[in-house]
Amino acid sequence: MSMENAMLLLKRIGYCKVLLDWFSYAFKCSLLSRRFEEMIIEENKKKEGKNEKLLIDLCECNVTLSYDFSSELLSICVPCLLKAALNKEENEEVQTEVEMALLALSNIRDYEMKRELYLNEITEIIEHHQEYQNMTRLAYQSIWQFFVDRFFNDKSLERVIVNELHFPREAVRELEELTRNVDWKRKEEENEKRREETKEEHILRRWLHTLNNYFLRCKLWNEELAKLIDCVVQVYQVVKDNYKEIGDLCISSLGIAAFNRVVKVEDLLKSGAVNVVLEEIQRPTLNDKMTFDSLSFFVLISMRLEEKTYNEMEEAKRKELKRKMFEKMEEEGFEDIITSFYEKFSYIFANHNVFIYHLLFDTTL
């Protein structure tokens, strides 16, 4: 097989691996992986006659197929892939190349790296897309996934992510477009077997994973973030009967949001998050993971509503929120629901999160 055809094949395999969120140790442990790393370093060192196309192809193959990266490799691959993604020509071939480069970058998870490697380029790519809408939906999701993953090790990036590039607003728009563009109603004959996911469904699932990472770490609260909570609730309402995996991701996102004290309890109430979690916990298809996520949501909100403040206005607000919350839970028969899960508490919580398990028994709902 020629080098060109081998690259095309490996890039396609890597594309599918990242898009479907597969994990494999095989490539990283192979001689081919070592050879690719050597070729990347050798090609990058060339002062003259450097083959930029070959270098991009090598970086895309190595980054999409692998899971572990050295600092030296990242210092070469990240700028190389960003350079490919900066191509602003608006034709299908370039869009495909940009998508591949950004999808590869999204496979670089929680690795710490210097801002100089990516920040200016990331900002330029996102701002250009916001003005001209020049990228595919997968490319745009991928660049945000890469950027939010950098937020894990650099909390100061949040001001750029929220105040300058408006991540919550952009995520809302993309989620709304994806839910409108997908036919979520399964055909009757498809109910008995799992249908193949569309590309749009893959992208929506990836967005929700990115939101989970963001909700876990965000500290800046504004109206755009409140709208993002609303949007997750709306996505759940659209997919709940026809796409359980994405519905489950929505519930997990709301649980992570409830854990983050920056997220206001009143916004969780206004958005209908409480309603959808109550609805989920009563579904006959509920599994242990969703039981854990749903009960944790209420445990965490209950804890926050029990925390008294010394500010009279805030204290009055807290008491009113607590009253509304417990009234809602009483209306829905939440006490009976808790009782029905009592015998499974120890198993469910001990197997998912010991910390939440102890909180549950120390907290009165």
Q: Which of 162-166, 222-226, 259-263, 297-301 has the lowest mean pLDDT?
A: 297-301
In the structure encoding, which two tokens stand for residue 137, read together? 């939906």
pLDDT for position 340: 63
Q: Is residue 176 part of a domain?
A: no
Q: Is residue 187 part of a domain?
A: no
Q: What is the pLDDT of residues 235-287, one digit of tens each?
A: 999 998 888 889 999 999 999 999 888 888 888 888 999 889 888 888 887 77
Q: Is residue 301 part of a domain?
A: no
Q: Is residue 184 part of a domain?
A: no
**Domain tally for the chain?**
1
Whole-angstrom CA distances from 232 to 172, 219, 255, 329 are 8, 19, 11, 21
Residue 113 burial class via C-beta count within 10 angstroms: exposed 0-12, middle 13-18, buried 19 and up: middle
The residue with tokens 């755009």 is: 224
Cβ contact 254:269 at 8 Å: no
Q: Which of 76-80, 135-139, 196-200 has the lowest mean pLDDT?
A: 196-200
Q: Is residue 11 part of a domain?
A: yes
75: containing domain: 1-128
Q: What is the DSSP string of 21-67?
A: T---STTTTSHHHHHHHHHHHHHHH-SSS--HHHHHHHHHHHHHH-S
**166 compared with 109, residue with greater pLDDT:** 166
**290 compared with 165, residue with greater pLDDT:** 165
**188 compared with 238, residue with greater pLDDT:** 238
**336 compared with 204, residue with greater pLDDT:** 204
Residue 305 burial class via C-beta count within 10 angstroms: exposed 0-12, middle 13-18, buried 19 and up: middle
pLDDT for position 121: 97
| Sign of the alpha-carbon dihedral angle for 45, 51, 57, 58 | negative
Q: Is residue 198 part of a domain?
A: no
Q: What is the pLDDT of residues 274-326, one digit of tens each?
A: 889 888 888 887 777 887 788 888 878 888 888 777 777 888 888 888 888 77
Q: Is residue 69 part of a domain?
A: yes
Q: Is residue 216 part of a domain?
A: no
d(CA 263, CA 256): 10
Q: What is the pLDDT of residues 64-120, one digit of tens each?
A: 999 889 999 999 999 999 999 999 998 999 999 999 999 999 999 888 899 999 999
pTM: 0.88
